[in-house]
A and B are shown apart, each in its own frame.
Chain A
Amino acid sequence: MFWQIDLLISTLVIICGIGALTVKDLLGAGILFGAYSFMMCLLWAVMGAVDVAFTEASVGAGVSTVFFIAAVFRTSRETKD
């Protein structure tokens, strides 16, 4: 196990998670959530759970990001900040 890769991906997961929570723009949050899912997918693959990684890549990073964006597309901006 390469601990450097592990550390890098774990850091990116946390950064993407915090970013998705704090960013004001909903579209940006959706895309950051997709990035988070993709990093989780890499983490599963590094840990050897290839089936879970595949599911995460197709469901988490793929289709659910599209769902988020489709839902964000139907919202309107209320505040000006």
Chain B
Amino acid sequence: MKSIALTVVLILGCLLVYVAQEFPGFGDPGAPANVHVSPFYIENAMRDTAVPNMVTAILADYRGFDTLFETSVIFTAGLACFFLLRVIRRRAPESRLYRHIPTDLTIRIEKGGRLPASSAEFQRIDSVWVPYDLIIHMTGRLIVPFIQLFALYVIAHGHYSPGGGFQGGVILGAAVILFALCNNLRMTVRRFSERTNALLCSLGVIIYAGTGVMCMLLGSNFLDYGALAGLLGVDRIMARSHGIMMVEIGVAIAVNAVMVWIYYNLSSVGRQDEGL
């Protein structure tokens, strides 16, 4: 059976390589992809939208529908992880580990025992993996704000350099995940709760779709940011640039929340109690 599968894969691979010979060469100006619609974008992107980074202009303006539904796909992925993994039902814990901070002793409290209140003296620790490393803790604390600042730069600077909502949102989410890795999941969930996550996910998609609807209300097509000119007090070209910015912010918020949400559910098998 294995050899048949290998043969089939090899034949298909050879076929793929053979067919790929027919493709136009890399950067060939006569290639179909380079003669149909690309010249229009290259010639008009800067004039139409005042965005030097053509990729951003195409992604959020000319191909705004695509990006809207990409954002919806990411939103759906977050929701799917939630519905598949999340365990809402609360059950009594079998045993919990606590650290008594003044004496640095670890205490195990068996099922049915009285749990200490979360205070300055007792700190709850995970039963499977106990991170207690000052260096990791402090490095994480130092580096997280800079990662977040860089993410904001990536979002805001998407018009001029590589980057934009998706990348910036992922980096923002990665900062929160790093915080969770350096400390623990409970602390992170307390600071960035699941409710906030769910709200931010929807808010991001709503900002994107709302920008489009606003254009419609102002008497233009869906996601035709030029209609926002009167509202923003700029000409139509700058309005398109600002519209791209609004949309990118929506994408960033949604992606950020979804990444953190997936991480919460994945690392703790849906309990959001003890995790990586």
Assembly CA distance A66 to B266 (angstroms): 10
A69 to B267, CA, bound (A): 9
Does B247 sit within 8 A of A, measured CB to CB? no
Flag if B267 contacts A58 (CB, 8 Å). no
Query: A62 with B170: in contact, given A47-B26, A54-B162, A70-B276 (CB under 8 Å)?
Result: yes
The winner among A53, A58, A62, A73 for most chain B CB atoms within 10 A is: A58
Q: Are B162 and A53 in contact (CB under 8 A)?
A: yes
Question: What A residues does B55 contact at CB under 8 A?
Answer: 51
**In the complex, which range does the number of interface residues on chain A fall in?**
10 to 19
Q: Judge whether B204 is part of the interface by a CB distance below 8 angstroms.
A: no
Are A63 and B266 in contact, with the CB atoms below 8 A? no
B170 near A59: Cβ-Cβ < 8 Å: yes
A54 touching B167 in the complex, CB below 8 Å, given contacts A47-B26, A63-B259: yes
Q: Indicate whether B164 reaches chain A with its CB closer than 8 angstroms.
A: yes
- Interface SS, B side: helix
Pick the contact of A51 from B164, B177, B267, B269 — CB < 8 Å? B164
Interface string of B119-134 (1 = CB under 8 A from A): 0000000000100000
The answer to whether B171 and A67 have CB atoms under 8 Å apart is no
How many residues does chain B have at the interface if contact means C-beta atoms less than 8 Å apart?
24
Inter-subunit contact B170/A50 (CB<8 Å): no
Asked if B166 CB lies within 8 Å of chain A CBs, one says yes
Q: In chain A between 4 and 57, which residues have their CB closer than 8 angstroms to a CB of chain B?
A: 47, 50-51, 53-55
Inside 8 A of B181's CB, which chain A residues have their CB? 66
Residues in A with CB closer than 8 Å to B275 are 70
Task: Verify B162–A58 contact, CB threshold 8 A.
Answer: no
> Given A53-B162, A63-B259, are A71 and B266 neighbors across the interface (CB < 8 Å)?
yes
B179 within 8 A of A: no
Tell me the smallest distance from the CB of A3 to a CB of chain B, in Å: 11
Q: Which one of B55, B170, B171, B181 has the greatest number of beta carbons of chain A within 10 Å?
A: B170
Report if A77 contacts B (CB, 8 A): no
- How many angstroms from the CA of A58 to the CA of B158 in the assembled complex? 15
Contacts A67-B263, A73-B276 hold; do A58 and B177 have CB atoms under 8 A apart? Answer: no
B147 CB, nearest partner CB in chain A, Å: 11
Q: Which residues of chain A are within 8 angstroms of B166 by Cβ–Cβ distance?
A: 55, 59
Quick one: closest A residue to B166, CB to CB? A55
Least Cβ distance of A37 to chain B in Å? 13
**B26–A63 CB distance below 8 A:** no
A69 to B177 Cα, complex, angstroms: 12
A80 touches B (CB below 8 Å): no
Q: Is the CB of A66 within 8 A of B162?
A: no
- The answer to whether A70 touches B267, judged by C-beta atoms less than 8 angstroms apart, is yes
For the complex, is B174 an interface residue (Cβ under 8 Å from A)? yes
For residue B250, CB closer than 8 A to chain A, the reply is no
Task: Tell me, yes or no, whether B212 is within 8 Å of chain A by CB.
Answer: no
- The listed residue (A51, A59, A62, A70) touching B266 by CB distance below 8 A is A70
- Min Cβ gap B58→A in Å is 10
Chain A residues within CB distance 8 Å of chain B = 1, 47, 50-51, 53-55, 58-59, 62-63, 66-67, 69-71, 73-74
Task: Name 7 interchain pairs, CB-CB below 8 A, sorted by A.
Answer: A58-B167, A59-B167, A62-B171, A66-B263, A70-B266, A70-B275, A73-B129
Q: Mark B residues whose CB is within 8 Å of A.
A: 26, 53, 55-56, 129, 162-164, 166-167, 170-171, 173-174, 177, 181, 259, 262-263, 266-267, 269, 275-276
